[in-house]
Amino acid sequence: MALPKGLAGVVVDQTKISSTKNAILTYAGYRIEDLANASFEEVVYLLWYTRLPSPEELHNFKRTLVGHMNLPDETLRLMNEIAKEPQHPMSILRTTVSLLGTTNNVKRDDPPTILGKMLTAIAAIIRIRDGKPLLRAQPDWSVAKNFMYLFSGNEPTDEQAAMFNTVMVLHAEHEFNASTFTARVVASTQSDYYSCLTAAVCALKGPLHGGANERVFNMLETIRGQELAPTEYLKQELAAGHKVMGFGHRIYKNGDPRAKILRGIAEKLAAQTGNSDYYDLQATLADYMLKNKHLHPNVDYYTALIYHCLGLDKATFTMLFAACRTAGWLAHILEQQREGCLIRPSSEYVGPTNQHYFGNRRQTYDTQQNHVQFGEA
C-alpha cells in the first residue's frame, strides 16, 4: 500500500477556521483577497468566533488586545537574561513562550491575554537583542501599529501601519500547516495554551516551514554581496540539486494568493526605504523561476524583503511570522480542545520481524538463510 508522504492530501479532521480547498485561501468563508483590507483585530475575532464582530464588539476587542500588550516584571527580568544569550532568536522565543507559562497565570490566561503577551514578548526579544529599552503599548493605537512601535521604537505612519496590518492578516492563519497541526496535537491532550504554543514555535523554527523567509534573504544577500548574475546563480543552484527557498507550495500550484498581495507591499516599502535594488533582484529571480521551473513565489519570498525594509535583522524574521500566526494557532487550539478527541494516528511497521530475546545473547531469525543466528547483546 502506497502511503502519502508527509500526510499530503490526507484529511485528518474538520475545521471551521480556514480552508485552502481548490487552492483558494479563506478564513471562515471569507477570501483572503477581501480580508487583506480588514484590520488585524477583525481577522483575529473572525478566526476565534468564525464571524465578523459588530462595530461595538470590534472596539471592545481591540481595547482588550492592546490592553494585554504588557508583561509582568518577573517575566521581563528573566527575558532580559534569556534574550542576551548567543542563540538563534527562535530558540530564545521557544524558551520565552515556555517562560510565559511559568510566570503568568496559566489557568486564567485567555486567548486575548496570551496573544497580547506573545506580541509584546517577541517585540521585547528584538529590543533586548539590539540593546534598546523596552517600550509600552499606546492604548489608542491599533495592534499592528503598537507592535511595529514596540519592536522598532518608531511611531509608524498610517500608511506603514496599514501595510504591516495586511502582512499580519496574511500570516495569521493557514489551515493545518506543520506548526498548527503540532499545536492541535498538543491541544488534543488537553494541555495548556502555553504548552501548545511552545510546540508550535518549535515546528515553525524549521527552515522548511517558518524559517524559509530567513533563507530567502540569505540568498538575496549572497547574490548582491558577491555581485553574482541572478540567473547564473539560479542555474548553478538548480544544477546542484539545491532547493531555491521562497518558491513553490504544496497547495498553490498556480501561485500563492498571499504572495501576490505581498509583492505590491514589498515593492512600495523597498522604494520608500532605499531597497529597490533588492526588489528588482527578486523580480528577476521570480521571472526566471516561473519561466524555467514553473514555480511561483510563496508567502516567504516577499515577506523576507518586507521585514528587511522594516529594519529587522534577518534572524528575527521567523519570530515576526510567529507573532502573526499566534492568532491562528490559538483558534485551532480552542477548536481542538472543544472537540475533546486525542490525536493518535497509526503507522505501518516496516522494520525487522521474528526477533527473539535470550538474556545477554540475542537471537535473530534470518529469513534469507533460514537459520538462527546468535550474537552478544
Let me know whether 145 and 221 are in one domain.
Answer: no
376 lies in a domain?
no
Report residue 336: phi and psi, to 5°. -65, -40
Which of 202, 194, 197, 199 lies closest to 103, judged by CA?
194
Let me know whether 164 and 256 are in one domain.
Answer: no
Residue 39: which domain range?
18-175+187-193+322-339
Sorting pLDDT into bands at 50, 70 and 90, what band is 370? Answer: low
Assign residue 53 the CATH number of its domain: 1.10.580.10
201 lies in a domain?
no
Let me know whether 329 and 290 are in one domain.
Answer: no
Report residue 247: phi and psi, to 5°. -125, 145
Which of 36, 338, 8, 16 lies closest to 171, judged by CA?
36
Which of 7, 334, 47, 28 lies closest to 188, judged by CA?
334
344 lies in a domain?
no
Which of 100, 106, 140, 91 lies closest to 119, judged by CA?
100
Assign residue 273 the CATH number of its domain: 1.10.230.10
Let me know whether 147 and 36 are in one domain.
Answer: yes
Please spell the DSSP secondary structure of 61-113, one letter per residue: HHHHHHHT----HHHHHHHHHHTTSSS-HHHHHHHHHHHHHHHS-TTT--HHH
Let me know whether 306 and 326 are in one domain.
Answer: no
Let me know whether 147 and 236 are in one domain.
Answer: no
334 lies in a domain?
yes
Let me know whether 121 and 230 are in one domain.
Answer: no
Question: How far is residue 114's CA from residue 372's CA, in Å, rounded to a whole number?
Answer: 59
Let me know whether 155 and 47 are in one domain.
Answer: yes
* Percentage of the chain exceeding pLDDT 90: 84
Let me know whether 170 and 242 are in one domain.
Answer: no
Q: What is the pLDDT of residues 11-28, one digit of tens each?
A: 999 999 999 999 999 999
Let me know whether 149 and 220 are in one domain.
Answer: no
Q: What is the pLDDT of residues 318-349, one digit of tens each?
A: 999 999 999 999 999 999 999 999 999 988 89
Number of domains the chain contains:
2
Catalytic residue set: 249, 300
Q: What is the pLDDT of residues 131-188, one digit of tens each?
A: 999 999 999 999 999 999 999 999 999 999 999 999 999 999 999 999 999 999 999 9
Q: What is the pLDDT of residues 36-70, one digit of tens each?
A: 999 999 999 999 999 999 999 999 999 999 999 99
Task: Tell which wins on pLDDT, 212 or 147.
Answer: 147
Q: Which residue has the cell 489551515?
A: 175
Let me know whether 32 and 170 are in one domain.
Answer: yes
Q: What is the pLDDT of residues 268-322, one digit of tens each?
A: 999 999 999 999 999 999 999 999 999 999 999 999 999 999 999 999 999 999 9
Q: Which residue has the cell 491599533?
A: 142
Q: State residue 377's pLDDT score.
A: 44
358 lies in a domain?
no
Let me know whether 77 and 107 are in one domain.
Answer: yes
